[in-house]
């Protein structure tokens, strides 16, 4: 297998960290560029363990100019960027009445516009290099299902799905693939706090999930690993749901 270069945002915890570990440990020819708003001991360990193949940048994805500068650095160092996993984002749990337009704008800026900014740059790099590129957005079942107090988050994720489908059609002829991974409820960094403080909602999510449990970050990482791999050579414009059967109901 030839060298493959990829970027991954939100790599410091939860699903993003699980994907980072999966890609580095299972693919000796992968060079991963991780981007996260802050570093931590887990990332420090990965930088030492994979010092030749893991490059880390500290940045918020909404800092659009800095993100573009990072991608320019990666392009100068490696040339083509073979894949990108846009995982970073924020959650917002407020009723519609309590969500000001500013809250909608902020969530949309981070979860949608920032990811479109990254995708557009990856597409530009791919076209310049005449190389294939596989772009994956980590979305959510919230984008297509109705949930109380999650309208701001739902707007941002459903819009991201819409961009993905249009871009997939527009650039399919250029060997640029775009897909979304839409997890259900996953045992990421917020899970324990959610169980403790919103136990009624936690039990409700279990009732709504045919498999009767939350997913694991490692399970999402396995799917993401395939979706950006060379094995995924024909799927584009698709949202893959990994939710224990929730959306099948």
pLDDT score of 190? 74
**Cα–Cα–Cα angle for 93, 99, 103, nearest 5°?**
90
Q: Is residue 224 part of a domain?
A: yes
Q: Is residue 101 part of a domain?
A: yes
Percentage above 90 pLDDT, the chain: 92
Lowest mean pLDDT among 96-110, 163-177, 179-193, 229-243: 179-193
Q: Is residue 73 part of a domain?
A: yes
pLDDT score of 235? 98
DSSP the chain: ---EEEEEESTTSHHHHHHHHHHHHH-TTEEEEEEESS--HHHHHHHHHTTTTEEEEE--TT-HHHHHHHHHHHHHHHS---EEEE-------B-TTT--HHHHHHHHIIIIIHHHHHHHHHHHHHHHHT--EEEEEE--GGGTS--TTBHHHHHHHHHHHHHHHHHHHHHGGGTEEEEEEEE-SB-STTHHHHHHH-HHHHHHHHHH-TTSS-B-HHHHHHHHHHHTSTT--S--SEEEEESTTGGG-
Q: Is residue 226 part of a domain?
A: yes
- 1 pLDDT higher than 80: no
Distance CA 178, CA 116 (A): 11
Lowest mean pLDDT among 85-89, 192-196, 235-239: 192-196
* Nearest Cα residue to 96 out of 161, 146, 159, 145: 146
Q: Is residue 229 part of a domain?
A: yes
Structurally, the chain folds into a number of domains equal to 1
> What confidence category does residue 89 fall into, taking pLDDT thresholds of 50, 70 and 90?
very high
- 138 pLDDT higher than 90: yes
Distance CA 204, CA 147 (A): 12
Looking at the chain, how many residues does it have? 249
Average pLDDT over residues 151-177: 98
Q: Is residue 151 part of a domain?
A: yes
pLDDT score of 146? 87
Q: In this predicted model, what pLDDT tens digit does every residue of 209-225 receive, in sequence order?
A: 999 999 999 999 999 99
Q: In this structure, what CATH number is given to the domain that contains residue 165?
A: 3.40.50.720
Average pLDDT over residues 107-124: 98
Average pLDDT over residues 171-195: 92
User: What b/e string do you get for 74-91 counting C-beta neighbours within 10 Å, with b at 16 or more?
Assistant: bbeebebbbbbbbbbbee
Q: In this predicted model, what pLDDT tens digit does every residue of 29-44 receive, in sequence order?
A: 999 999 999 999 999 9
The secondary element (H helix, E strand) that includes residue 33 is strand 30-36
Contact 246, 184 (CB under 8 A): yes
- 82 pLDDT higher than 70: yes
Average pLDDT over residues 43-51: 97
Average pLDDT, the chain: 96
Distance CA 113, CA 90 (A): 13
Q: Is residue 208 part of a domain?
A: no
Q: Is residue 159 part of a domain?
A: yes
Percentage above 70 pLDDT, the chain: 99
Range of the domain at 9: 4-184+217-248
More confident residue, 195 or 176: 176
């Amino acid at each position: 297998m030839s060298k493959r270069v990829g970027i991954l945002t939100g790599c410091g915890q939860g699903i993003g960290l699980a994907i980072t570990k999966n890609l580095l440990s299972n693919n000796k020819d992968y060079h991963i560029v991780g981007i996260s708003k802050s570093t931590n001991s887990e990332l420090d360990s990965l930088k030492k363990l994979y010092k030749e193949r893991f490059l880390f940048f500290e940045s918020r994805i909404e800092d659009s100019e800095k993100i573009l500068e990072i991608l320019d650095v990666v392009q100068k160092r490696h040339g083509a960027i073979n894949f990108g996993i846009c995982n970073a984002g924020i959650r917002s749990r407020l009723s519609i009445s309590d969500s000001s337009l500013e809250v909608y704008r902020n969530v949309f800026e981070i979860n949608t516009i920032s990811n479109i900014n990254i995708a557009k740059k990856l597409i530009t790099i791919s076209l310049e290099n005449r190389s294939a590129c596989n772009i994956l957005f980590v979305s959510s079942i919230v984008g297509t299902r109705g949930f109380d107090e999650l309208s701001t988050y739902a707007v941002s994720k459903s819009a991201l799905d819409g961009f993905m489908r249009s871009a997939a059609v527009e650039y399919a002829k250029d060997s640029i693939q775009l897909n979304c991974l839409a997890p259900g409820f996953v045992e990421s960094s917020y899970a324990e706090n959610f169980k403790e403080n919103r136990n009624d909602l936690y039990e409700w999510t279990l009732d709504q999930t045919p498999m009767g449990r939350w997913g694991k970050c490692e399970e999402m990482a396995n799917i993401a690993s395939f979706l950006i791999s060379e094995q995924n050579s024909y799927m584009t414009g698709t949202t893959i749901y990994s939710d224990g059967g929730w959306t099948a109901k």
